């Protein structure tokens, strides 16, 4: 056996430990400007392709989750319809049947899950899955029949209803799965259901990866282009039919313009130093980052990697707050924003009147700030400065006793009442209630922009910014008059992103009014 054929010894956990060091911000250390903080002009071809992928897509996880809900509702409805048509129970009997309907529909969905009927390949192959689907639905009824026999309650239910519900549910599942298979093929063609990927790296590894992915019979990956820092001698401009769109610095800008789901690094795992250099530039993006591990001879533990079809991928970074977590957070934002507006409208009305009477000018102040994925958004506040002295760019931070701030402005800034109009930004989907605070695009610490002070600063934009956040309730609010303050604030923001949960959001939301009593750094 020659050296090419020997299995490659590789420790994914060791690489992950080194990757975690990328995300560590060391307060007090001098930080250099990162490539991700610069604005890089895309070449015309890359910009044209990026604009083609501006529309959002629906991930398989979202569609499968919706399918589970649909099938539960449909199976329940079929049983209920048969019940109303044939049995016509009285009120007391109805509750007995409803318990069986809910339990049976839920058990059917659970057993379909165990039968792998909610995998994308299964959805694409309804004929092959039909016996397994009918068996899972039949097993749900067998389990219900056994329970009713054991508790001696079988005589309370109509056998005709029981059998009709089973047959009606089986017929529905068969027809629905045929329809879903057709829809998935259609969604794959028009781009509705796909995962958009960019290949990082060129040459033979990228060519082999692309060909392997394209050979997958049920591939949902759309390759949007290739980016590589190497010149054409080592990385040709066309690889497996896909154009090389630029270097890694341009990739960062490309991924902020297009809706990219995944970056796949196509480099030999032995090129560890180069991989780590790439990750240091790319981890600021809100995408999944994977390292292709399809070369012959690689040996991993099963939990070390995920699969795209038959292609193993080493998971390095996951997109934060994605799929159903994103839906849950959005519902959280809408519900609690409406509650806050219902409770605080008198305060907001009083603040608006006070601002208008205290000095000439508009009631609201609009400022451009960085939003999700570095997009520029307009954030609303109650105006706290004299109109002719206002600073929309925030180049000069507000300091203690700042003459630009009105008397009313000092009060609403200290109490954070000036931030309440941002609830409307939340309802518009530009902000979240909880998240890293959005900073003005020209905000500075002394004479340097924040990105020049903190390596990885833009990684805080991998999620929507928030009206309040983990950093704020831990004392990092108000004036930033020292480099360490923005470093610590960014460190707390990144902790929030890595450890997000709805419970953490709820904790931050309810602690915010208490922590606002500390106005030491708010001017």
Please give the tally of structural domains in the chain: 3
- Distance from C-alpha of 457 to C-alpha of 494, rounded to nearest angstrom: 9
In the predicted model, is pLDDT for residue 295 greater than 90? no
Residue 375 shares a structural domain with residue 507? yes
Q: Which two tokens stand for residue 156?
A: 């309370």
Same domain, 356 and 492: yes
Confidence of residue 75 (pLDDT cuts 50, 70, 90): very high
pTM: 0.79
31 pLDDT band (50/70/90 cuts)?
Answer: very low
328 lies in the same domain as 218: no
What pLDDT shows up at residue 30? 37
* pLDDT reported for residue 301: 55
Q: What's the mean pLDDT when you consider all of the chain?
A: 82
Last residue of a domain, one of 263, 298, 317: 317
> Are 223 and 182 in a shared domain?
no
* Same domain for 456 and 486: yes
On whether both 479 and 418 belong to a single domain, the answer is yes
Q: Which residues, in sequence order, are CB contacts of 35 under 8 Å at separation 6+?
A: 248, 249, 252, 281
Question: Are 30 and 65 found together in one domain?
Answer: no
Cα-Cα-Cα-Cα dihedral sign, residues 181, 183, 186, 187? negative
Cα distance between the two ends of the chain: 72
CA separation, residue 157 to residues 81, 103, 166, 198, 358 (Å): 15, 14, 14, 57, 73
In what helix (H) or strand (E) does residue 317 lie, and over which residues does it extend? Answer: strand 311-317
Q: Which residues on neighbouring strands pair with residue 288, listed in sequence order?
A: 262
The H or E element containing residue 367 is: strand 364-370
Which residue, 261, 197, 259, 271, is CA-closest to 229? 271
Stretch among 6-20, 182-196, 197-211 having the lowest mean pLDDT: 6-20
Maximal C-alpha separation, the chain: 86
Q: How far is CA 250 from CA 41, 240, 282, 300, in A?
A: 7, 21, 11, 32
Residue range(s) defining the domain that contains residue 49: 12-57+194-317
Last residue of a domain, one of 254, 289, 317: 317
Q: What integer pLDDT is reported at residue 302 of this predicted model?
A: 53
The answer as to whether 4 is a domain residue is no
Among residues 270, 290, 317, the one where a domain terminates is 317
Burial class (CB in 10 A: 0-12, 13-18, 19+), 498: exposed
Strand order in the sheet with 262-265: 238-239, 242-246, 221-227, 195-200, 262-265, 288-292, 311-317, 305-308
**Do 402 and 501 lie in a common domain?**
yes
Q: What is the mean pLDDT of residues 461-480?
A: 84
Pairing of strands 242-246, 238-239: antiparallel
135 lies in the same domain as 269: no
- Residue listed under structure tokens 């400065």: 385
Segment among 5-14, 163-172, 174-183, 248-257 with least mean pLDDT = 5-14
Same domain, 173 and 198: no
pLDDT at res. 15: 57
pLDDT at position 453: 76
pLDDT in tens, 143-199: 998 988 887 776 778 889 999 999 999 999 999 999 999 888 888 777 777 888 999
Give yes or no for residue 338 having a pLDDT over 90: yes
Domain annotation covers residue 388: yes
Token pair belonging to 354: 């006070």
User: In which element (H, E) is residue 61 found?
Assistant: helix 60-82
**Percentage above 90 pLDDT, the chain:** 30
């Amino acid at each position: 056996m020659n050296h090419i054929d020997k299995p490659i010894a590789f420790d994914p956990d060791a690489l992950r430990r080194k990757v975690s060091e990328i995300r560590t911000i060391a307060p007090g250390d001098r930080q250099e400007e990162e490539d991700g903080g610069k604005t890089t002009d895309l070449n015309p071809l890359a910009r044209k392709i990026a604009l083609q992928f501006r529309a959002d897509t629906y991930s398989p996880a979202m569609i499968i989750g919706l399918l589970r809900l649909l099938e539960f509702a449909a199976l329940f409805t079929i049983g209920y319809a048969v019940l109303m048509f044939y049995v016509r129970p009285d009120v007391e009997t109805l509750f007995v049947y409803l318990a069986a309907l809910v339990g049976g529909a839920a058990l059917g969905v659970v057993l379909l899950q165990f039968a792998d009927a909610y995998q994308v390949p299964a959805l694409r192959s309804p004929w092959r899955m039909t016996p397994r689907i009918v068996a899972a639905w039949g097993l749900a009824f067998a389990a219900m029949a056994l329970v009713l026999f054991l508790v001696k309650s079988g005589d309370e239910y109509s056998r005709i209803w029981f059998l009709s519900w089973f047959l009606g549910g089986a017929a529905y599942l068969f027809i629905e799965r045929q329809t879903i298979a057709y829809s998935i093929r259609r969604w794959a063609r028009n781009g509705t259901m796909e995962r958009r990927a960019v290949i990082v790296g060129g040459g033979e590894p990228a060519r082999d990866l692309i060909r392997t992915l394209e050979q997958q019979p049920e591939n949902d990956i759309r390759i949007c282009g290739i980016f590589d820092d190497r010149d054409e001698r080592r990385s040709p401009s066309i690889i497996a039919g896909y154009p090389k769109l630029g270097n890694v610095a341009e990739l960062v800008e490309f991924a902020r313009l297009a809706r990219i789901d995944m970056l796949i690094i196509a480099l030999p795992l032995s090129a560890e130093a180069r991989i780590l250099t790439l990750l240091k530039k790319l981890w600021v993006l809100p995408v999944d980052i994977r390292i292709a591990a399809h070369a012959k001879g690689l040996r991993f533990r099963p939990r070390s990697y995920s699969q795209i079809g038959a292609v193993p991928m080493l998971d390095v970074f996951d997109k934060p707050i994605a799929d159903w977590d994103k839906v849950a957070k959005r519902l959280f934002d809408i519900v609690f924003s409406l509650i806050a507006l219902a409770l605080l409208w008198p305060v907001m009305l009083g603040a608006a009147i006070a601002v208008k009477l205290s000095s000439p000018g508009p009631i609201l102040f609009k400022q451009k700030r960085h939003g999700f994925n570095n997009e520029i958004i307009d954030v609303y506040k109650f105006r706290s400065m004299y109109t002719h002295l206002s600073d929309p760019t925030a180049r000069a931070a507000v300091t203690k006793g700042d003459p630009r701030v009105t008397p009313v402005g000092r009060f609403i800034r200290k109490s954070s009442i000036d931030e309440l109009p941002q609830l409307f930004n939340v309802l518009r989907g530009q902000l979240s209630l909880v998240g890293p605070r959005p900073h003005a695009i020209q905000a500075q610490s002394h004479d340097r922009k924040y990105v020049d002070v903190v390596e990885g600063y833009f990684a805080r934009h991998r999620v929507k910014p928030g009206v309040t956040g983990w950093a704020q309730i831990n004392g990092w609010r108000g004036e930033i008059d020292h480099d360490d303050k923005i470093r610590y604030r960014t460190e707390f923001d990144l902790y929030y992103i890595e450890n997000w949960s709805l419970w953490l959001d709820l904790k931050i939301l309810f602690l915010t009014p208490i922590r606002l009593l500390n106005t030491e750094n708010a001017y």
